[in-house]
Amino acid sequence: MFKSPGLNMSIEDAVLNTTPALSPMFRLQWEEVQQAWVLLYPEGMVKLNGSAGEIIKRLDGKKKCPCIDCRA
What is the identity of the amino acid at 58? R
The structure's pTM equals 0.64
Higher-pLDDT residue of 60, 53: 53
For the segment 58-65, the average pLDDT, to the nearest whole number, is: 75
Instruction: Tell me how far apart the alpha carbons of residues 37 and 55 are, in angstroms, rounded to a whole number.
Output: 11
Q: Give the three-state DSSP class for 57.
A: helix
Sign of the CA dihedral 62, 60, 54, 2?
A: negative
